[in-house]
Structure 1
Amino acid sequence: MNNRTRWLVVVLVLGLAGVVALWPRDDEPGPPPTPSRPTQDVSALRAQAQLRPCVPGSGGGVDVTCLGDGTRTALALKGPLLINFWATWCQPCQEELPVLDAYAKQPGAVPVVPVLVESREADGLELLTRLGVRLPSVHDGADELRKRVKAPNSLPATYYVTADGQVRLITDPPTFTAPDQVEKAVR
């Protein structure tokens, strides 16, 4: 290899290194990007999901969208109530949702409201359908409910709302793996 070829290789390598160094990066942690795809018929996804109806708002709550029918409702922080924040990209959320659904089917269970965040409604409906979870679920697209309870950015995050309106983050366990863990957490 002659000197001219060596210099050409050095210049190309340095140029490539410069491009890589200057290439924009997304250094923010968070969910992976949602792949682009055609807009789906959300009403068909709602019908397919067969979610139980949301409890109509009684005012004074946070405005959210009921995933089951698309209506806006005010979710009041009145208990007893279990609120579970989840996203479609969150693997522990996907494992926990069926556990919460199984718990909610037990006699005397505290009402459970899954709250979809950081995800599109259509994606949430698809996931709930695939998991067979039929809980009355809401979408908090503006993150208002999560801000109200000062929920962490990590998911899943589950809160117990007591009868007198106190909101308590459940940290033990951090993710439910069995319905009896949910029962113990809400006592």
Structure 2
Amino acid sequence: MKHALRWALVLVLLAGALVVALWPRANPGPVPSISQAVAGAPSIDQLRSAAALQPCPATHGNAGATGSPLAGLALPCLGQPGTVDLAAALAGRPALLNLWGPMCQPCAQELPALAAYAAEPGAVTVLGVEVQQLPGAALEELAALNVHYPSVSDPDGRLRAALHAPPAIPLTYVVSADGKVTQVNPPEVMRSPEQVRAVVARYLGPGASE
């Protein structure tokens, strides 16, 4: 969460620099640039390098199940340039979609549990979805928590709209191999890999794996 606050401060500095630039003055002098206002802020490439996320899933199998709520959704990959066609990338494989944000304290408690589960042999694909439109802060949070599974961003809320997702996070959705998407309900904050494994077994059956 502290990373999100730092990025919020960057936005305030940007706004302040813009106000200074536009404010009329009797003696115009040098105006500090926006780049000067945020000097020292790491670039997205630097943040990606520090976070060292696993590559986003590539197209897998066919184009995805017809009628899936994920159909037609191409979201920006958080850890690298490019977008991910969710339906095509997850076609034929079970997965967990975890909606989270860097200003969400329960999310910070859940992310390490998901990472520990994702590292287990036979674990289903875990894909993080950052929904608070703070990709820089999200990358810093993932780096600080040593969480490296692949993640995407939902900057315009299209995935949340397609899933009819409630506003609270974290939220986890289970995607079956045939493309069915089911919200874990009631929502729960998973604090151990055992809890994650139990959720997978509940929705996909015992022994479900990649």
**TM-score (norm: length of structure 1):** 0.77
What is the alpha-carbon distance in structure 2 between the residues aligned to residue 71 and residue 89 of structure 1? 25
* 1:50 aligned residue: 52
Identity %: 39
* 2:82 aligned residue: 71
* 1:86 aligned residue: 100
Cα distance change, pair 144–81 in 1 and its aligned pair in 2 (3 A): same
What is the alpha-carbon distance in structure 2 between the residues aligned to residue 43 and residue 111 of structure 1? 25
Cα distance change, pair 36–103 in 1 and its aligned pair in 2 (3 A): same
Once the 2 structures are TM-superposed, how far is the Cα of residue 92 of structure 1 from its aligned partner? 0.4
Q: Which of these two proteins has the greater Rg computed from alpha carbons?
A: 1
Once the 2 structures are TM-superposed, how far is the Cα of residue 114 of structure 1 from its aligned partner? 0.6
Q: Is the 8 A contact 1:173 1:181 kept in 2?
A: no
RMSD: 2.1
Once the 2 structures are TM-superposed, how far is the Cα of residue 157 of structure 1 from its aligned partner? 0.3
What is the identity, as a one-letter code, of the residue corresponding to 1:71?
Answer: G
* 1:103 aligned residue: 117
Cα distance change, pair 146–129 in 1 and its aligned pair in 2 (3 A): same
Cα distance change, pair 49–32 in 1 and its aligned pair in 2 (3 A): closer
What is the alpha-carbon distance in structure 2 between the residues aligned to residue 122 and residue 93 of structure 1? 16
1:36 maps to 2:9: yes
Structure 2 unaligned blocks of 5 or more: 11-37, 64-70, 202-210
CA deviation vs aligned residue, 1:94-129 (integer Å, no higher than 9, x gap): 110010000001111010001001131111101000
* 1:130 aligned residue: 144
Q: Is the 8 A contact 2:171 2:187 kept in 1?
A: no
What is the alpha-carbon distance in structure 2 between the residues aligned to residue 159 and residue 90 of structure 1? 18
Q: Is the 8 A contact 1:172 1:185 kept in 2?
A: no
Q: Is the 8 A contact 1:88 1:119 kept in 2?
A: no
Provide the secondary structure at the position in 1 that maps to 2:9.
Answer: coil
Once the 2 structures are TM-superposed, how far is the Cα of residue 74 of structure 1 from its aligned partner? 1.1
